[in-house]
């Protein structure tokens, strides 16, 4: 029977380790979250992050520029936060409105306050194996694998997806843990065959149920990063979510077909409840780590 890798247990352990570190600080770590406009999904994510701060005793501040704000307006806000000594981490909630320059906004965040690990300087530190904030979702996945004692060293890991947020940093982190890593994407030839070689398969492509049984090596560990809303009854039934769809009129599935994953994988993360809680936990961990650095150098 497949082992289900629940993220909440890992989140609880990560957050419990942070509490003693927070108590040693001279002041609470400070996190500023910038939410531009009123995207409903983003509002939910931001509320979750603010609540996590409150539960841990972190200072949090939410800044909400209007949808009509310009890139210059956003950069001004970021520069003001860069200069504030009580703010250790700055998070710009994605996605930004289409008229904004996302790259410019992310690079405006000081590398030493880049709690998401997106700044080119911190990406360079990741490549070089130097300490720096790490992209939260892949860092959380490494914590999950270690928590459940799933071997990484010497294993063949396949990362399906090449985004700057998950795919690329995930590959680098697995490489640092001495896995043999293959990155696949939409243009990869023989995609199924390559994925089926994986001892650890990380799916992060944003397509509901794309990875089916013939992509999965029997007994492999499957990490499903996707969160895809399904609003079609037939599609929901295909994923084994007909009852939930009947009750709610929608359901959420990952990038891996949930029935196939449970049947073929040796261990897997459910959606929801797998990777999601880890992203929040690592955001808190990055904020605390930055606060420790700032106070040590003050």
Q: Which helix (H) or strand (E) holds 63?
A: strand 59-63
Domain coordinates in residue numbering, the chain: 26-128, 136-276
Q: Which helix (H) or strand (E) holds 255?
A: none
**Nearby residues of 17 by Cβ (< 8 Å), 6 or more positions away:** none
Q: What is the pLDDT of residue 297?
A: 85
Query: What pLDDT digit, counting tens, does each position of 133-178 carry?
Result: 999 999 999 999 999 999 999 999 999 999 999 999 999 999 999 9
Q: What is the pLDDT of residue 78?
A: 98
**Nearby residues of 12 by Cβ (< 8 Å), 6 or more positions away:** none
* Domain 136-276 architecture: 3-Layer(aba) Sandwich (3.40)
Tell me which of 116, 199, 255, 260 is the catalytic residue.
116
Query: What pLDDT digit, counting tens, does each position of 35-55 carry?
Result: 999 888 888 889 999 999 999
The verdict on whether 146 is a catalytic residue reads: no
Mean pLDDT for all residues in the chain: 95
Task: List the one residue out of 225, 227, 211 whose CA is nearest residue 265.
Answer: 211
Q: Which helix (H) or strand (E) holds 178?
A: none
**pTM attached to this predicted model:** 0.94
Residue 161 CA to residue 164 CA, distance in Å, equals 9
Tell me which of 49, 155, 168, 217 is the catalytic residue.
49
Phi, then psi, of 39 in degrees rounded to 5: -65, 120
The residues facing 162 across adjacent strands are none
* Angstrom distances, CA of residue 27 to CA of 24, 85, 286, 292: 9, 11, 16, 10
Residue 177 DSSP SS3: coil
Tell me which of 93, 113, 199, 217 is the catalytic residue.
93
Q: To the nearest whole percent, how much of the chain has pLDDT over 70? A: 100
What confidence category does residue 1 fall into, taking pLDDT thresholds of 50, 70 and 90? Answer: confident
The verdict on whether 23 is a catalytic residue reads: no
Does domain 26-128 fall under CATH 3.40.50.10860? My reply is yes
Give the N- to C-terminal CA distance of the chain in Å, as an integer. Answer: 53
Q: Which helix (H) or strand (E) holds 267?
A: strand 267-268
What confidence category does residue 182 fall into, taking pLDDT thresholds of 50, 70 and 90? Answer: very high
Q: Looking up tokens 């709610």, which residue turns up?
A: 248
Phi, then psi, of 199 in degrees rounded to 5: -80, -35
Same fold for the pair 26-128 and 136-276: yes
Query: What pLDDT digit, counting tens, does each position of 244-294 carry?
Result: 999 999 999 999 999 999 999 999 999 999 999 999 999 999 999 999 999
Q: Which helix (H) or strand (E) holds 119?
A: none
């Amino acid at each position: 029977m497949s082992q289900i890798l629940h993220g909440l247990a890992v989140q609880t352990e990560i957050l419990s380790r942070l509490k003693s570190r927070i108590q040693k600080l001279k002041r609470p770590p400070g996190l500023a979250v910038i939410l531009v406009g009123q995207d409903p999904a983003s509002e939910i994510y931001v509320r979750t992050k603010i609540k996590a701060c409150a539960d841990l005793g972190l200072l949090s501040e939410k800044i909400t520029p209007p949808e009509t704000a310009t890139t210059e307006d956003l950069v001004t806000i970021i520069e003001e936060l860069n200069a504030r000594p009580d703010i250790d981490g700055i998070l710009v909630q994605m996605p930004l409105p289409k008229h904004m320059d996302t790259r410019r906004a992310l690079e405006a965040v000081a590398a030493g306050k880049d709690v998401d690990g997106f700044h080119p300087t911190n990406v360079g530190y990741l490549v070089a194996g130097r300490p720096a904030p790490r992209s939260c979702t892949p860092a959380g996945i490494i914590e999950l694998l270690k928590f459940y004692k799933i071997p990484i060293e010497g294993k063949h890991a396949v990362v399906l997806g090449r985004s700057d947020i998950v795919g690329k940093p995930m590959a680098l982190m697995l490489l640092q843990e001495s896995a043999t890593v293959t990155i696949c994407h939409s243009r990869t030839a023989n995609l199924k065959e390559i994925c089926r070689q994986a001892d650890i398969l990380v799916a992060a492509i944003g397509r509901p149920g794309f990875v089916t049984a013939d992509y999965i090596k029997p007994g492999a560990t499957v990490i499903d990063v996707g969160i895809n809303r399904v609003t079609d009854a037939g599609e929901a039934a295909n994923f084994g979510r007909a009852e939930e769809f009947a009750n709610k009129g929608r359901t959420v599935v990952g990038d891996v077909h949930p029935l196939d994953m449970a049947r073929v994988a040796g261990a897997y993360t459910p959606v929801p409840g797998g990777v999601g809680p880890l992203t929040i936990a690592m955001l808190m961990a990055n904020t605390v780590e930055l606060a420790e650095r700032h106070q040590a150098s003050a």
